[in-house]
Amino acid sequence: MSNSYQNNLAFAQNMDKEDPLRKFRAEFLFPTFHENEVVYFTGNSLGLQPRQTAKYIQQELDDWAKWGVEGHFEAKNPWYSYHELLTEKLAKIAGAKPIEVVVTHSLTTNLHLLMVSFYRPTETRYKIICEAKAFPSDQYALASQVAFHGIDPADGIIEVGPRAGEHLIREEDILSAIEEAGDELALVMFGGVNYYTGQFFDLEKITTAGHAQGAIVGFDLAHAAGNVELKLHDWQVDFAAWCSYKYLNSSPGGVSGLFVHEKHAHNKALPRFAGWWGHDKSVRFKMEKNFQPIPGAEGWQLSNAPVLGMAAHRAALDLFDKAGMTAVSKKRELLTGYLEFIITDISSNTSKVDFEIITPKDPSKRGSQLSILAHGQGKKLFEALSAQGVVADWREPNVIRVAPAPLYNSFEDVYRFGLALKNAIQ
């Protein structure tokens, strides 16, 4: 395909005409810049608002007004079980069985709750392997979990990073770090898609390698959910969590998804921090002692569901369900391929900048994001893009992240980005 891409408007518009997901763009609200829609390439940070989100939230506001507390059972979508309306659609996105997923809390909270259950260090087996320069919240969460067990994070945490002079983490280095840690390894806790480079790790291989050493394997899928195709059940992943406000377009700070593999669903011996929403539903309102966890992911819930946030998530999940992750994934490869072509085309026709795309070239090894190192003039270039209505993202020390989202970005967006980039260089 990449050989046949062209850097012109007619080509981009023709790609849009042939795009089976083209009609989804109209389902989203775009910010404007001087009365034109921006080129919105930050779906990896905060996805755009679906048009129907307001309707879904309004329904719950109306039922709250109409029913007050009775809405827990009398609302059109009873709040008591509202989160259950999300389960099947989210399970498809995660490649999971319904019993394995639940929508609850926020991401970092869920990571902590899951580590309470799945990071159980002993005298000899207490180490965690993670990626170097993980998202800061994950770094803090891991270090504090290790310290909570009285272990020095410098001893308890093994970071796998890129080799000197490289940007990506080599798969073989992850696998050999896991093997080297051997029976000292308690937990492998990696990101699915790295937020900085867009590198999509081979979660199945990592899981198999971790299990071979007798460790538990969990993932933070903040940049993977709604972006790449996941098969958490088949890959035997022990646990995972992700947020819903990046590629899943479910409102700022929106609710999080939590996955626990079916093999742990009935294990009541797992320690956990408990709350009434994780307790056996049939006897929840007896308000009695002795926590009985609901089998599966729902048993990790603490509190009754924040219905307005859930409503926003539901609006977005309905769109994903119509589109299907396979189609989203296919378009992602074409869109990022086109973006890569445009950037390379512009870069090769100028001596003023030297762009380096640090994201993997192989489409199966990356998500919907390209990270560009603009040697020499990163921040200035980024500002010149912003001044033309391109919403991208600047990450210290010198990377511009551009993330076209398959559900609402078009090939024309990519072409327009190219025009802005050319101007910015001048």
Query: Residue 317 and residue 225: Cα distance in Å, rounded?
Result: 11
Answer yes or no whether residue 227 interacts with ligand PLP by CB under 6 A.
no
Query: Residue 261 and residue 241: Cα distance in Å, rounded?
Result: 12
| Size of the residue set binding ligand PLP (CB under 6 A) | 12
255 or 294: CB nearest ligand PLP: 255
Q: Read off the tokens for 193.
A: 């898609």
Give the length of the chain: 426
107 or 342: CB nearest ligand PLP: 107
247 or 411: CB nearest ligand PLP: 247
Query: Residue 282 and residue 289: Cα distance in Å, rounded?
Result: 14
Q: Which of residues 94-123 bind ligand PLP (CB under 6 A)?
A: 106-108
160-199 b/e with 16+ CB inside 10 Å = b? Answer: bebeeeebbbeeeebbebbeebeebbbbbbbbbbbbbbbb
**185-191 and 157-160: which strand pairing?**
unpaired
Span interacting with ligand PLP, options 117-125, 218-226, 281-289, 416-424, rule CB under 6 A = 218-226
CB of 394 to ligand PLP, least distance (A): 16
One character per residue 170-209, x = contact with ligand PLP (rule: CB under 6 A): ---------------------x---x--------------
CB of 299 to ligand PLP, least distance (A): 21
CB of 420 to ligand PLP, least distance (A): 26
Answer yes or no whether residue 131 interacts with ligand PLP by CB under 6 A.
no
> CA end-to-end span of the chain, whole Å?
30
134 or 381: CB nearest ligand PLP: 134
CB of 67 to ligand PLP, least distance (A): 31
Q: Which of 222, 311, 403, 407 binds ligand PLP (CB under 6 A)?
A: 222
Please list the alpha-helical segments (H only) found in 149-263. 153-156, 171-181, 203-212
Answer yes or no whether residue 243 interacts with ligand PLP by CB under 6 A.
yes
Query: Residue 361 and residue 363: Cα distance in Å, rounded?
Result: 6
Q: Which of 6, 52, 137, 236 binds ligand PLP (CB under 6 A)?
A: 137
| Dihedrals phi, psi of 255, to nearest 5 degrees | -60, 160
**399-402 and 127-131: which strand pairing?**
unpaired
Which residues here bind ligand PLP, judged by CB under 6 A? 106-108, 135, 137-138, 191, 195, 220, 222-223, 243
